[in-house]
Every structure is written in C-alpha cells, then in structure tokens.
Copies of this chain bind each other. A is one copy, B any other.
C-alpha cells in the first residue's frame, strides 16, 4: 500500500464520517449512528468506494482502544461499582431474554437445537463500543442510569466471551465444558481486579515520573502506551477483549490529578481514530442480510420475527466485543 492510497482512504473515511455525523446530529440522532451509516454507504455493501485494508483495520483497532480508554477516563470507578449489582442484573437479563426468545422461536419453527443455540447466542451480544459511544454522544456518561448501562455493557462483554466459548464448545464437541466457563469468567474477574488494584496504587508513582520528564509529549505517549497498549495487549494475551484493558487504564487514570490533562490530549487523537472504527463496522454490513427474502423462507421469517421483537439493528452489526481479538 503506497502513501497515496493510505492518504486517499483516510480522506474518504474522515469526510464521510463528518458529513454523516453532522447530518444525523441535526436529525436528532447520535453521531455514532452517522458513522455506522457512512461505513455502510462507502463499504462493499454500499457504493463500494472503499474496502477494509489491513491498515484501515489496524487504525480501527487503535480507534476502539482509544474510545474505551477515553470512556474509562470519563467514568468513576466507585460509581460503576456502586451500580454493580444493578448492572449485573441488567446484563444478565439483557443476555438471557434475547437468548431465550431467539432459541425459542427457532425451536418453535422446528430448527435443530444447535441452530437455535447459535441464533440465540448471536442475539445476546451488545457492543460496549457502541453503547458507550452513544451515551457519550448524548452527553449522558455522567447520569446514574448511564453508569448502570455502561457497567452492564462491560459485564455483558464478559458474559459474551463466555457464551462464545460455550457455543464454540457446543459446535465442536456437542458438549459444553463447565470448566471452560469457570476459567473464562475467573480470568476476566482476576484481570479487572488486579489491573484496578495495582493501577490505582501505582498511578501516582507514574504521574510523578512523567512530571519529572523534560521532553514534550511525555504524558500523552505514556498514557496511551500503558492505557491503550500495555494493558490492552495483556488482556488480549490472556484471551480477553483488548478493550477491557484500555477501559481499565482509563478508569485508573481518572483517579489521578492529571485526569484533565490526559483527557484534553486524548480527545483529538480519539476524534481522528474512533470514527475509523465505527465506519469499518459499517463497511462489514451486507445489506442483503437485512432482507429476509434473501434467506430460505423459514430462517428469514425467524430473523424477521426476532428483529421485529427487538426493533433494533444489533444483529446486523458484527459484534466485535464478542470477539476475543478485539
């Protein structure tokens, strides 16, 4: 990929994002919806102007890591914990209801159990990225209800990983490994607890160290380095979603005196890279998937029913938060 291709690709992505953002916001919608639509329009399912290259994919990954870092920075860990019980209840209901409905409809239509489990599982996923960005677009990150929803989205992400492991296990062996379920949940819990405990203890040391440095850009580089890179990589390494790591570091740095400085510096970087993430999600949508007639009759009907039931587009947005590599 030469420089020109990269520059032209970025120009298309940024221009489409900003035009769509502005249009949707003026229509009273959130900017994130604009970016998803912009992605659908420019992507292979739309006008086909741009397809997702490795470089765009990498920049998108950086975008979602920066997004969750920023959301973490704007959240208060104690408020999140206080909303913990409610969040867990919301997350469990938010996973159980779609699963039961999806599974039930598919079984009722006479599909085999395995197909029913897959459809049910696909309906359980919620994207932490989309949830948090929508709350941020609406200026509601500080609301009590938003904290419950955000906490639920994080719990949901962990539940999503477990469901993915279970479904994969079912598909491969026909049986569910209880050990795997416990192992995955344990890892996620230990990682978050260890990151937060160590992080909150060592953050002041880190801030003092950065304060003694003389070169320009030390705060932003080290923040992104730890926040978005080291912990995200560790989370990814132990099989969790990378964004859980960057969210944790955001929460940690939010407790330091440099919070506002970090926030001020991370915003322009996030402004550039986060839209790339949402547009590449949009670019993956195949509009044919939205047309139930494109499927065989019964499956299409089931899809239509479940859509009508939930009245949202969750299923067509690839659930990146479900994938351990995100």
In whole angstroms, how far apart are the Cα atoms of A267 and B261 in the complex? Answer: 13
Complex contact A267–B7 (CB within 8 A): no
Complex contact A7–B233 (CB within 8 A): yes
A272 within 8 A of B: yes
Complex contact A326–B3 (CB within 8 A): yes
Complex contact B14–A224 (CB within 8 A): yes
In the complex, what residue of chain B is closest to A230 when comparing beta carbons? B11
Query: Given the complex, which residues of B lie within 8 Å of A1, measured CB to CB?
Result: 54, 58
A216 within 8 A of B: yes
Query: Given the complex, which residues of B lie within 8 Å of A265, measured CB to CB?
Result: 267-268, 271
Query: Given the complex, which residues of B lie within 8 Å of A216, measured CB to CB?
Result: 31, 267, 271
Using a CB-CB cutoff of 8 Å, which residues 94-115 of chain A contact chain B?
Answer: none
A220 within 8 A of B: yes
A251 within 8 A of B: no
Report the minimal beta-carbon distance from A192 to chain B, rounded to whole angstroms: 18
Complex contact B11–A221 (CB within 8 A): no
**Contact flags A207-244 to B (C-beta < 8 A → 1, else 0):** 00000011111101110110011101100110000100
A194 within 8 A of B: no
Q: Number of A residues contacting the other chain (C-beta, 8 Å)?
A: 54
Complex contact B54–A221 (CB within 8 A): no
Report the minimal beta-carbon distance from A31 to chain B, rounded to whole angstroms: 5
Complex contact A269–B269 (CB within 8 A): yes
Partner of A62, one of B6, B213, B215: B6
A253 within 8 A of B: no
A51 within 8 A of B: no
In whole angstroms, how far apart are the Cα atoms of A265 and B193 in the complex? Answer: 34
Complex contact A269–B266 (CB within 8 A): no
Complex contact B233–A4 (CB within 8 A): yes
Q: Can you name 29 A-B pairs with beta carbons within 8 Å? A: A1-B54, A1-B58, A3-B232, A3-B326, A4-B236, A4-B242, A6-B62, A7-B65, A7-B228, A7-B233, A7-B242, A8-B233, A10-B62, A10-B225, A10-B229, A14-B221, A14-B225, A17-B221, A18-B218, A22-B218, A25-B215, A31-B216, A58-B58, A217-B267, A220-B271, A220-B272, A265-B267, A268-B268, A269-B272
Chain A residues with CB under 8 Å of chain B are 1-4, 6-8, 10-11, 14-15, 17-18, 21-22, 25-26, 31, 54-55, 58, 61-62, 65, 213-218, 220-222, 224-225, 228-230, 232-233, 236-237, 242, 265-272, 275, 325-326
